[in-house]
Structures are given as C-alpha cells and as structure tokens.
Structure 1
C-alpha cells in the first residue's frame, strides 16, 4: 500500500484578504508536514499537495470545514513518495493566469460551460456535432490528448483568448472543453460563452478524473502534471503513445525539464538521448555553466535565477 497521497484540487470562491490567507495557509500546510504548490488569489484556490494519507485527510477536512471551500473536489492519487520537495503557497492575481481580469467577462462563479461527468463526456465526445477542445499548452497536449481533439498552439493558458477567432468556425457545434483537472476549462468555457458560442461543455474533474472514473478510454498518451512525477498514466482501456523524442524522433512518453535552469524547457526525451544529452534539449544547454545534474528523472527543485532590475542583480525564487 502506498504511504503517501497527492491531492489535486481547485475552488473558485472569493477570499477576503487573500494575501494574508496565503501566509496563514502556508503555516498550516507546514504544520501537517505537507509539500506542494498552492496558488491563492482573490478568486479562490488552486493547489497540488502531497503527504501522508493522514496528513492529506486532515488537510481535506480543514478545507471542507471552511464554508468558502466546502464544495472543493479533490482528485487523490496514491504515490510511493511525496510528489514535491518543498511547500509553497503564493498569492497571485489569478489562480490560473488568463490575463482576463474583467469579472463581467470571465467569472466562473457566475457562468461556465455545462459540467459533464466523465461517463457523459465519453458518451458524447464522438457525436457528429461535437468538437473536443484541448485548452492546455503545447507541451501538455504533445504528451497526451483525446483522440480527434482540437489543440491550440499556445505556450501558456494566457494565450488562449488570442485563439478564439480560430475557433469561430465551430460556433454551431457542441464544444467539449477539457484540461488536466478542470480549472482552465472554467475560464475557457466562460470566455467561449462570452464570445457567442452557444453550446459549451467542460469535462468535470478534467483528464485526471476521466482516467479514474471512465478508464481513460481514447485519451492518447500520458497526462502532464505539475509536480515531480511530470506525467501520469490515464488510459487503462486502449492506451497508446503519441509523443516522440525531441532530439531523435523515437517514440517515447517520458517528459522532462531541460537541465539548463535558464531554459527549463518542458519536452519529451528518450532515455538514450537523456543520457547522451545529460537531460538537455540542445548542445547549447548541455554546455551551459549552470547546467544541473541529470539524475534520469528530469525533475529539479526550483533554483533562484539572477535577473537584472534597473541594473541591479537580484535573485528571484
């Protein structure tokens, strides 16, 4: 039996004095011995935390005891080791960065696409009048995506609004959006509705819940996750691998971060190239003086990087 759990969750709920809440929440998480990454904003919480089963249960109980977050749904994975090294809780302007700050345009607490449970999503996804839309970034959908899904050429979710015009030809279709855990779909589906799309749905709980409750049928490849696992299996029904090594083109489902911290590119790389390139995406990164030691996992604890602000060198965590 696995000794640890990893929890993935989000909740759109207004938090008064969210910056102070973030500081207090960090202390609470540390008191439980949790590791992970949580974003706190005025609009809610977005987190992945890991710890013993007992600590994770205590955390979920505490979150649910707060009336603001009582409806939070946790996706729970059993893991052999904690999925993070440190515990971070940070206050930001949004819990998923879209660049859309106008609550009259995007407010998941007021309007989103219709939520589809995994079995309903599976039943609807192959209908002729349906378009499956992946709202994640390039490096995520290159590792895995739903069969026949529309993918967008975006580096970050904040680029999604710029792609709306490319989707206009699908306005008379049923749009089924999906992402890792559901959080991006809340804003993506809301924006689509704002832009005149009439029939918009979203996969409730995202790819992770779909894998757990519907066997992951027709999800091709693996799902990228934002912790030191980097990717997880989804499909136990008809699994396949769709990603290839960035360096040699060999089929591989291994996702890593470039060993050069000033690049830190997310890319797929086979073990052979990983060894030869020392976990780097290019010769230039391999010869970089700050290159990190590659241990085969492709995951690194974040290292502060120097940046220049008004000619003064400072360290950013």
Structure 2
C-alpha cells in the first residue's frame, strides 16, 4: 500500500541581485524556522539556490514568501511529493555564488543559452547536428545521464571552464546543456557563448522537470539529488540502469556515501556489497577507526551537537523571547 505523501520537496534557484544579502539571509532563515522548512539554501549577492522540504501547506507558504519579494517573483519551483522531510535540519548560508563555478563575472540575466522546455528538448536532442552536454560532476553522471550525452571528467562544477577547452571541435554544433535543476546550465551555457560557441541551449528546469513534464524519455539511470533521497527515478518511458556497483561491478543504481567519513565518496554500491562492507566502499574503509554505523541507506547527516534550528541566527534578547513563544514585554 502506497504511503501518504503529505510532504513536498522543492528544488529552485533564482539569479537576482541582492544588495543586502547577509541581512536577507537572516530574514530568510527565520521564516524557515518559524514554518518548519528544512533543507539547504544559499543566499548570495547574485541570488538564491535551495532544496527544501516540509508539509505541503508549509511549502506553499514558503513558495508564496519567495514569490512575494519582487526580486524573486520569477522563481520556478520543481515540486516533488514525499512521505516525510527530506532533511533533518535547516541551513541558510551566505556564499559568494549560488553555485560554485569560478564564473562570477557572468550574469545569466544578461546573456545565457536559449531555454528549451522539456518537450522541445526531447524533440531536438536526437537531431544530427546536436550535441547533448552534461555539465554535472562524475558521481552524478555515472549514476544517470541522457542517452548519447557527452559527459566531462570533472569532480566539481568549478572545473567546467577548463574542460571546455576540449570541446573546440563542437563549435559548429547545436549544444544542448543539461544538469539536475537548471542552475549550472545558466552559467555553463553563458560561458560557452563567451568562448565562441554560437548555438547553445539549456534544458529549462533540468532533469527533474524533464522527468515530470516529458516522462524522462532516454534519461538512462537515476538522477542524483542533494537530500536524503540521494537518487530519484526520472524515466517513466524506457528506464534502464547504467551505473555499476563500485565493489563487484554488477549493475546497480543504489547510491551511497562511503561510511568512512575520511573517504565519503558518492558511489553506487549494491545491497549485498553494502551490507558485506558495512557501508564502506572498500575493505580499507571498512576497517577505518572512524567508520560510521551503517543502517542500509548509505546516507549520513552531518555531525552536530544536536539539531539546533536557530544556529546561525543573530538574535537579540527580544527576538529570542519571541522565537520561544514568550511575551515580548515579559
């Protein structure tokens, strides 16, 4: 019997200038705490980037809160149903960029690749003069990618600009970029244009929206996501498994983090090997003195001294009383 999916997971980003980013981070964090929103949110001078979870009604309040600010009115949310929170905590952090790219000089609101809606991407991707370019990291595209996609050997998106040097021979092609939710493509496609590529597109809303609106056709494997689900199904048309167990080599789309925190690599490990190695990726990691207890999921919350949702809030005594439900004038 299918579980009740009373919660939602929201994936979103918005490139928009924030003059008072650190002050806004405080306000945004407080709203999340007061409305039981959990997840990871980055606030930057160049915009917002987040994945959050909450009860459906709380998520609706959160989306309304974001849209109520004129700076973020255009924000598009990818909404997925879930049985419970996809996060244990709320982290709202200020960072120089909303995705670390080493391309701070590029503003996607000024120039970026042409946005393709999922159905348009589906129709265009198999044309003869088209190259489908995955701009994600190795552990992401190894778990799942579009059929015939060109993948890059990068561990972090900040390595993307260096790899573009290897793509010079594709400048006369239509280049269709894609990523998880669309955010990396905004700067990846802008950088390609800057480097002289003329016909550059991006999958609007990324793999997640493509699965929701175009059935995920020809996306092979699963999509890596940055919450405790780790990986999600995308393809409802012609699904397949492309990733292999890091240990034994059998086909497996069961993604884990190595139980050894000093390693912590993201790899596919089949259930049998997972239990045999107690969540580790190798015998060496299995015997590591700091190895974390394995519960069969391969997902580990960051260590903390108990869940403190108020961590990071700069609270005045008055605000602290209000947060704890005390009278402001007591």
- Please give the range of the TM-score, normalised by the shorter of the 2 chains: over 0.9
Alignment of 1:210-289 (within 5 A): 210-289=210-289
Q: Deviations over 1:52-86 (max 9, x none)?
A: 00000000001001000000000000000110010
3-state SS of paired residue (1:238):
coil
Equivalent-residue separation in structure 2 for 1:214 and 1:101 (angstroms): 32
Equivalent-residue separation in structure 1 for 2:58 and 2:239 (angstroms): 33
Q: 1:117 maps to what in 2?
A: 117
Equivalent-residue separation in structure 1 for 2:22 and 2:286 (angstroms): 39
Deviation at 1:178, TM superposition (A): 0.2
3-state SS of paired residue (1:142):
helix
TM-score (norm 1): 0.94
Q: 1:99 maps to what in 2?
A: 102
RMSD value, Cα: 0.8
Deviation at 1:282, TM superposition (A): 1.6
Equivalent-residue separation in structure 2 for 1:281 and 1:252 (angstroms): 14
Equivalent-residue separation in structure 2 for 1:26 and 1:244 (angstroms): 39
3-state SS of paired residue (1:46):
strand
Equivalent-residue separation in structure 1 for 2:70 and 2:103 (angstroms): 27
Q: Deviations over 1:157-181 (max 9, x none)?
A: 0000000111111000000000000
TM-score (norm 2): 0.90
Equivalent-residue separation in structure 2 for 1:152 and 1:91 (angstroms): 29
Q: 2:27 maps to what in 1?
A: 24
Q: 1:312 maps to what in 2?
A: none
Alignment of 1:164-183 (within 5 A): 164-183=164-183
Deviation at 1:284, TM superposition (A): 1.9
Deviation at 1:23, TM superposition (A): 2.0
Equivalent-residue separation in structure 1 for 2:202 and 2:279 (angstroms): 36
Contact residue 103 and residue 187 of structure 2 kept, 8 A: no
3-state SS of paired residue (2:80):
strand
Contact residue 261 and residue 303 of structure 1 kept, 8 A: no
Deviation beyond 3 Å, 4+ runs, structure 1 = none
Equivalent-residue separation in structure 1 for 2:151 and 2:99 (angstroms): 19
Contact residue 134 and residue 141 of structure 2 kept, 8 A: yes
Contact residue 223 and residue 231 of structure 1 kept, 8 A: yes
Deviation at 1:101, TM superposition (A): 2.4
3-state SS of paired residue (1:115):
strand
Deviation at 1:303, TM superposition (A): 2.2
Q: Deviations over 1:273-300 (max 9, x none)?
A: 0001111112221111211111111111
- Of 80, 95, 108 in structure 2, the residue corresponding to residue 77 of structure 1 is 80
Deviation at 1:236, TM superposition (A): 0.2
Equivalent-residue separation in structure 1 for 2:265 and 2:230 (angstroms): 13
Equivalent-residue separation in structure 2 for 1:121 and 1:72 (angstroms): 21
Q: 1:190 maps to what in 2?
A: 190
Equivalent-residue separation in structure 2 for 1:288 and 1:5 (angstroms): 37
Question: Are 2:209 and 1:209 equivalent residues in the alignment?
Answer: yes
Equivalent-residue separation in structure 1 for 2:36 and 2:72 (angstroms): 21
Unaligned runs of 5+ in 1: 305-317
Structure of greater Rg: 2
Deviation at 1:99, TM superposition (A): 1.2
Equivalent-residue separation in structure 2 for 1:39 and 1:249 (angstroms): 36
Q: Deviations over 1:131-183 (max 9, x none)?
A: 00000000000000000000000000000000011111100000000000000
- Of 13, 16, 41 in structure 2, the residue corresponding to residue 38 of structure 1 is 41
Q: 1:152 maps to what in 2?
A: 152
Aligned residues: 301
